[in-house]
Structure 1
Amino acid sequence: MPEAPEYTPYSIYVLEPHADYATADNGHIPIGAIAERVYGKPYSSLSGCQRDDEHIGNDSVKLYELTSDDDYLEALEAFDDTELYLGWDSRTHESVRKTGMTELDYWLSIRIADESTPATVEANPPKTQDLENAVFEDRFFADRAFTPSLKLVLADLIRRGELPRGDFLFRHWW
């Protein structure tokens, strides 16, 4: 009789965009609440997840593997990259890139209009439009226009000591 194979156990933390019942103690991490506390603005985790995998739907599950040094360092390197891809310009037939900013800096520069600051961009700007310091009328359109990759945000939060090192399962539903 052959010997049973040995398995290495490891933890997978479940990221929840809805923070009502999620706690680190039960293995569920309220990613929206942590990101808002750290960055000072709400984070659209589904849009970030879709940046990593454009075909992911509303009722979705995605595993972010950041246990190994290679996965973690690759995510950090991408996060710290100072060249931002804005999209393909069909008029010039060229890629549009912005240099000198990380995805996080770019995202944090985007704001929502209030009494003292009027909107400066339309609800659905072209993908190639530079949105640095843009002010949107509504958070929905701001999140849709640009939300950083969830994998990159996870790497940054791990680097800051806000999340445990490990693998994260993102689970989203409406």
Structure 2
Amino acid sequence: MPGAPEYTPYSIYMLEPHAEYATAENGHIPIEAIAERVYGKPYNSLRGCQRDDEHIPNDSVKLYELTSEGDYEEALDQFDEARVYLGWDSGLGEVVYKTGMTELDYWLSIRVADENTPATVEANPPDTQDLENTVFESRFFADRAFSPSLNLILADLIRRSELPRGNYLFRHWW
């Protein structure tokens, strides 16, 4: 049809936090299983998604656009940035950053207590507390305290050739 607008087709991949529900037939990507295999630590994609959009409501869908070169490069730049946002310190009246390490390094330093390692931090530390190398009593509290942005993790997994380049849809519920 002459004069009709042209559209650029692109793929949207479905991210599934529960590996047992991801199959070749339904086309879902088991994001937490891939991230755990790559980083050697369980990754909570829900917490990472909430880090990207803290006001995301129940039964929501979030689209991560990593098709364009600009969006992908911007996410990688943020991923590689050696500065971690710790939050607003009302006592100081300014934003607090941890410098010298990336979000990934910071997240990988946070651990969960076991029979050999006792917890070193309270379940709900203040937002601005530096959590490097801390040990939480459970994974729930560790995830809630700090999980890297899902957008940045996706960009890194694409760079590592673990995921194809494209846009990712993450549907979460609780």
Q: 1:5: how far off?
A: 2.8
Deviations 1:11-57 (A, max 9, x none): 10000111112135642101011011111111111111111111112
CA shift, 1:116, in A, is 0.6
Question: d(CA) in 2 for partners of 1:84 and 1:147?
Answer: 11
State the match for 1:69 in structure 2: 69
CA distance in 2, matches of 1:57, 1:147: 18
2:118: which partner in 1? 118
Q: Tell me how large the CA RMSD over aligned residues is.
A: 1.4
For 1:92, the equivalent position in structure 2 comes to 92
Q: Distance in 1 between matches of 2:21 and 2:92?
A: 49
Could you tell me which residue of structure 1 aligns to residue 52 of structure 2?
52
Instruction: Name the stretch that deviates more: 135-144 or 51-60.
Output: 51-60
**Residue type at the aligned position of 1:29:** I
Residue in 1 that maps onto 2:101: 101
Who is 1:35 aligned against? Answer: 35
Say whether the 8 Å CA contact 1:120–1:136 is kept in structure 2.
Answer: yes
Q: What CA deviation, in whole Å up to 9, does each residue of 1:50-85 have, x standing for no partner? A: 111111123220000000100000000000011111
Q: Distance in 2 between matches of 1:10 and 1:136?
A: 41
CA contact (8 A) 1:47 1:144 kept: yes
The whole-number CA distance in structure 2 between the counterparts of 1:139 and 1:57 is 23
Please state whether the residue corresponding to 2:74 is helix, strand or coil. Answer: helix
Range with bigger deviation, 162-171 or 19-28: 19-28
One-letter code of the match for 2:47? S
1:62-111 deviation digits (Å, cap 9, x = unpaired): 00000010000000000001111101111111211111100000000000
SS at match of 1:20: helix
TM-score (normalised: structure 2): 0.95
> Given the alignment of the two structures, is residue 164 of structure 1 paired with residue 137 of structure 2, yes or no?
no
Mapping 1:135-174, distance limit 5 Å: 135-174=135-174
Task: Provide the TM-score with structure 1 as the length reference.
Answer: 0.95
Number of aligned residue pairs: give it. Answer: 174
Partner Cα distance (1:105, 1:18) in 2: 24
| Distance (Å, rounded) in 1 between the aligned partners of 2:6 and 2:26 | 26
Q: Check the 8 A contact 1:13/1:168 in 2, yes or no.
A: yes
Letter in 1 for 2:109: S
